[in-house]
Structure 1
Amino acid sequence: MVSRENINTTTQNGKAQPILVTAILMIMCMSVLVFALAANSNITTIFPPGLIEKHLKHWISNPPRIEYDQKTAKIYNLNNVMEIYQAAGYEMIWFNNLEFKSEGHKLISLMREAVADDRYFYRYSDIPFKNEINKHSVFIKDITKLDMLVTDAFVSIVQDALNNDFVPDLNNHDHHNSEAVQVPIEEQVRLTTDDVVAWIIKHVEAQQLLEAIDALFPKHEGYLTMRKMFNHFILVSSFQTWKPLPKGELIKLHSEHKDIALIRAQVNFLEAASFYDEANPTEIEYPNFFKDIDYSQSAKILDEILSERIKIIQSQNGLEPTGEVGPKTRKLFQTPPQRFIRQIALNMKRWRRLPEELGRKHIMVNMAAFDLNLYENSASIMKMKVIVGRPNRRTPTLIDPIKTVVLNPTWTVPRRIALLDIVPQARRDPNYLSSHNIEILKGYGENAKVIDPTTINWNSIGPNNLPFYFKQKSGYNSSLGLVKFALPNDMAIYLHDTNHRELFDRDYRALSSGCVRVEKPLELAQALLDGKSNWSQQKFNNIIDTRKTTYVKLPEPVPVYLIYWTAYVDEQGKLQRREDVYNWDRLQQIGNDVAVNDYSLAP
């Protein structure tokens, strides 16, 4: 038993003990208070600047990393990050104390769009960042670590965006010209990492991070509508388990089939894109399309209402709108949402190839959709079918202006087509050239000399021996038809009329040798010449009737964009998808179609 005397002695000899206990209690209370303040959204926690600097310098000396769901965020640009924080006075860039800024959320959205096509390794991913942000840590060590990792990702993404490296070069030009004009070295400008760091520091010091991030996004309406579809498929895929349609036989109207119930769920899923509200994405009440599917007897019949809905979806995906479920439609309903996400993300990147200002009047040719749109003041004023290069002679993606329309054009046959097509025909049929109004010429202009085809040993003609060229006379039945829209490129690619107008009736129109044949050449020429002084419909018709080659300069150059969009949003706000006829998407060979929930929606 402890005596009263012992107790008193301990108290007298241990005067410091109550002070120590009090101090410990005060520290504990302060800790509880910090957590309470952090939990209270109405109270702001403020970190001392010196403490922020201390932790940022710690992370510079000990580069951090975050790993989540097989994705890693780590430092790739250490010296550049250090330079940025030195210029910022060792203040955090993406956090306002505990709050992750709106600029940061926008950057995470940009990361998500950049990596979602899954084509190759990017030095950033939104997944570990989103996971770390969602933890809502109140520790300055965690906050500064995340701030630094986001800054490092920003350096990489700015370099990719400003140098237009988001879309990989697939070497997609099939019309190589050994005498092609090379861009002077001094015009091949790429931003170095030092340039990127200076650009970032300038915007950080001016407190213009939001403007900096906005500069990395295309502003085109087509890009923004694609982003809406991108976010829709991410959101709608995030809360349900998608079910593919199994293989099976053709299902016709009024047929009863066990797959119809799942087909109805697939149709509901694809139609749901129209629900998406970009302003309030989290307020959308999506049903779980693949849960509690109705397998009742009535739900197993392909009725007229469902058939009409299927027709719409078939049209949106470049399929014949039969309203029935055949092999191609089954394949569509077997396409996982992640494939949609990746395809949309890839085609969003293709918008980055276009200039910010497309031109008051301009032409868009979408090779994947086989169509042409003429725009004026951002509105489509004319649309028509086109025929593009077949898969072994693909039309290249390019941007060129039309300055001149050629009426009743002659056709100087490009060397590659002469060797592949004309020479073999001339070997087989001595009358081929004359029946197609094709002359053999040597020399140009006044010195051009016509050569008699019967004097030529055709078996000796080949890639190393072609001492002449071929020229087809103008006329309704010439390969270029009545109109040529000249483009100034060294691949001999341009738009023109055709003598095979029946080919426009086909759905699949990758049939040419590389040039673009237009369905309504006379109407397009008239629209481009509209506004030219002393010009009239009658004058246009008179020139055509003469069959004389005439060069007509446009009132203003009209940019032409030969593009390849396998996914785009139409004028009605519907997502359109087309077959990858040139195999430039390569979605089946590249990337991951399984992980549909990898990409979370930014707030």
Structure 2
Amino acid sequence: MKLVASRLIVAGLFVLMMAAVVRAAPSEPVVRLVADQIEDLLGRATQEQVFLGDAWLPLFDQVRQFYQERDFAAVWFGESHSAEQASVLMQFLRAAEEDGLHSQGYHLGLIEQLRSQVDDYGYHEVLFDSLAVAQLDLLLSHAFVLHASRLSVGQVDPNELYAGEWRARLRRTDVVAALNMAVQSGDVAGVLHDLAPAGSEYLHLREELQRYRLIQRVGGWPRVPEGEILRRGGTDPRVAVLRQRLWMSGDLVAPDAEYPQLYQGDIVAAVVRFQRRHGLSPDGAVGPKTLAELNRSVEERIRQMELNLERRRWLPEDLGSRHIIVNIADFSLQVVEQGRVVMHMPVVVGTTRRKTPVFSGRMTYLEFAPYWGVPPTILQQDKLPRIRADRGYLDANHYEIIPWRGPSRDPIHPSEIDWQRATARTFPGLLRQRPGPWNPLGQVKFMFPNDLDIYLHDSPDRHLFNRRERTFSSGCIRVERAADLAQYLLEDQPAWDCDRLHRALNASEPKQVTLRRPIAVHLVYFTAWVDNHGVVQFRSDPYQRDNVLAVALDQQRNLSVQTASFKHTAEGDVGN
């Protein structure tokens, strides 16, 4: 009996030794066996799904293509560093929320189950489960492809989500090439890191997201009770709560004070700082609007940052070393050179009924003393009713009608038109307003040709730039300091000195000027970002685009959960 026992012990040790050897470098038959299992699984897959473990997995064409190109050889098994790189991938997948992504659809639970199973079996042919390894390999590759796609171009397509309001030229990411590179280089971390947007604005917002998650983990900030408006110099028991609230969000240096109920000094300065970074009037008083923003939960702010990280993934990787960026939600324009803001000004954007769209263009020319051509919608809804009510409206407001066609371009006399029957569709010409101080385009417009007929322009309605929320245009962007912007754009064209620029701005006839150096223009929509001083900014959502995106992401998350249906559900469960 002792001899038999000793032989069994030796045999057991031999098996364990062989398993360790194969674990470090599996034999060719073992590797081929796994490849055959992968080929069989993919061969039995439907056009869109493959059954792995207990789940039906959406099968990306890229995954099928990837394995076919490598003769179905495993990716995460077979090389000495494969297990290590699989662990690195799992770390990235578990940390997806750090980029504002959700991890649904990665099948992390099933992957962990199979990894544990494979580790328990070992890699020796006697103990080896090739099917489990094949399933695990496909799951890891699928998760890599899905995460790489989400990280580089986002989780939803804005062109479909905001039909007609958003035209994003999404980055083209070859996820198969990325997976190949990760496999060949043995650097999963480096490849995935490079797929995320590289701009500092993305990285800084990502960092702020982690800071706010820490606040969430300790229970969030306190809610400031309602009451009378807090004004400088007053006293109120709520000031102590306000101090704690502002300290937690980083607006106040210290939560304690000698007189905790006194609204004076550092707490007022902290409120002003809070108001500035939330787009509020920085008057230092805590009124209804400021209180409402103070009492938004940390979870709301986290969600807001997640949505805007998603939006950053929709932007081109390179915005241009020199570009103009208009943030519609912030009602602001910036001119950026080599990452530095060289000009900043307020703008007026479209109303909630005539929203300014999001897209990128290339500004190529300016037009001084422009005519304003009345768009069909405004003609139908606004101008025609006014003209019918007052036939002197056209002359009094410097309008003329230019025929669409015909040998003559002379204006059509208003008496030639039957105004009672006229519609925007049947109107015989272009209704336009002559250049002058009455013209809604002001003295100059900035053209980046596009089929949406959107451009930047001056405005005679100067008082609107003093409003905090500036949604008053019909879609185009009105800029506060149009003359300064024109001067900047023409500064490398010596013929355009200050005198010539002044004459062009005040001319009575239009003049087009081609830019020697065209400039990229990006119309964007960010309700959360980190500014050039490292301060996180939040804005309201004038077009309710945050809500639309949040709903879409929630629906996608729920759909990802539903696709992990179990076998008996997929095949049909026959009841008793």
**Alignment-derived partner of residue 76 in structure 1:** 58
Matched, 1:89 2:80: no
Match of 2:248 among 264, 269, 274: 269
Q: How far 1:358 sits from its partner (Å)?
A: 2.0
Match of 1:494 among 455, 460, 470: 455
* Whole-angstrom CA distance in 2 between matches of 1:306 and 1:189: 44
* Whole-angstrom CA distance in 2 between matches of 1:146 and 1:256: 64
For 2:58, the aligned partner's letter is Y
The superposition leaves residues 148-200 of structure 1 with CA deviations (integer Å, 9 ceiling, x where unpaired) of 43321222244456666544333353699xxxxxx9xxxx99989xx754663
SS at match of 1:406: strand
- Any residues of structure 2 matched to 1:31-180 within 5 Å, and which? 46=24, 48=26, 61=41, 64=52, 75-77=57-59, 81=63, 84=66, 87=70, 89-92=73-76, 96=81, 99-100=84-85, 104=89, 107-108=92-93, 111-112=96-97, 116=101, 123-124=105-106, 139=120, 148-160=138-150, 166-168=156-158, 169-171=160-162, 173=164
* Whole-angstrom CA distance in 2 between matches of 1:251 and 1:135: 60
Q: How far 1:452 sits from its partner (Å)?
A: 2.4
- Any residues of structure 2 matched to 1:300-311 within 5 Å, and which? 300-311=261-272
For 1:77, the aligned partner's letter is L
Match of 1:368 among 309, 329, 348: 329
Q: How far 1:526 sits from its partner (Å)?
A: 0.6
* Whole-angstrom CA distance in 2 between matches of 1:319 and 1:197: 46
Q: How far 1:312 sits from its partner (Å)?
A: 0.7
Contact 2:34 2:73 in 1 (8 A): no
* TM-score, scaled to structure 1: 0.75
* Whole-angstrom CA distance in 2 between matches of 1:272 and 1:49: 61
**Alignment-derived partner of residue 439 in structure 2:** 478
Matched, 1:223 2:216: no
* Whole-angstrom CA distance in 1 between matches of 2:84 and 2:388: 77
Structure 2 unaligned spans of 5+ = 42-49, 123-128, 555-576
SS at match of 2:546: coil
**Alignment-derived partner of residue 573 in structure 2:** none
Q: How far 1:465 sits from its partner (Å)?
A: 2.9
For 1:415, the aligned partner's letter is P
Q: How far 1:218 sits from its partner (Å)?
A: 1.7
Closer/same/farther in 2, CA of residues 199 and 297 from structure 1, 3 Å limit? closer
Q: How far 1:399 sits from its partner (Å)?
A: 0.9
Contact 1:173 1:395 in 2 (8 A): no
219-228 or 575-584: bigger deviation: 219-228
Contact 2:437 2:460 in 1 (8 A): yes
* Whole-angstrom CA distance in 2 between matches of 1:415 and 1:471: 11
**Alignment-derived partner of residue 380 in structure 2:** 419
Closer/same/farther in 2, CA of residues 47 and 327 from structure 1, 3 Å limit? farther
SS at match of 1:325: coil
* Whole-angstrom CA distance in 2 between matches of 1:377 and 1:588: 31
**Alignment-derived partner of residue 220 in structure 2:** 242
Matched, 1:540 2:540: no
* Whole-angstrom CA distance in 2 between matches of 1:200 and 1:348: 23
Contact 1:310 1:323 in 2 (8 A): yes
**Alignment-derived partner of residue 6 in structure 2:** 19
The superposition leaves residues 229-263 of structure 1 with CA deviations (integer Å, 9 ceiling, x where unpaired) of 222223443x3122551652234145554544433
For 1:171, the aligned partner's letter is Y
Matched, 1:204 2:183: yes
For 1:92, the aligned partner's letter is W
209-218 or 393-402: bigger deviation: 209-218
Q: State, as a whole percentage, how many aligned pairs show the same letter.
A: 27
**Alignment-derived partner of residue 334 in structure 1:** 295
Contact 2:351 2:475 in 1 (8 A): yes
Paired residues, what number?
530
Q: How far 1:20 sits from its partner (Å)?
A: 5.3
* Whole-angstrom CA distance in 2 between matches of 1:522 and 1:350: 32
* Whole-angstrom CA distance in 1 between matches of 2:539 and 2:440: 28
Closer/same/farther in 2, CA of residues 473 and 524 from structure 1, 3 Å limit? same
Contact 2:93 2:147 in 1 (8 A): no
Contact 2:370 2:444 in 1 (8 A): yes
Q: How far 1:459 sits from its partner (Å)?
A: 2.4
**Alignment-derived partner of residue 569 in structure 2:** none
* Whole-angstrom CA distance in 2 between matches of 1:205 and 1:175: 38
SS at match of 1:449: coil
CA RMSD after TM alignment = 4.4
Contact 1:384 1:519 in 2 (8 A): yes
Contact 1:400 1:559 in 2 (8 A): yes
* Whole-angstrom CA distance in 2 between matches of 1:388 and 1:424: 25
Q: How far 1:224 sits from its partner (Å)?
A: 1.9
**Alignment-derived partner of residue 283 in structure 1:** none
Q: How far 1:202 sits from its partner (Å)?
A: 5.7
**Alignment-derived partner of residue 536 in structure 2:** 575
* Whole-angstrom CA distance in 1 between matches of 2:24 and 2:196: 33
**Alignment-derived partner of residue 3 in structure 1:** none
**Alignment-derived partner of residue 434 in structure 1:** 395
* Whole-angstrom CA distance in 2 between matches of 1:175 and 1:427: 36
* TM-score, scaled to structure 2: 0.78
**Alignment-derived partner of residue 279 in structure 2:** 318
Structure 1 unaligned spans of 5+ = 1-13, 35-44, 67-72, 177-182, 275-288, 593-603
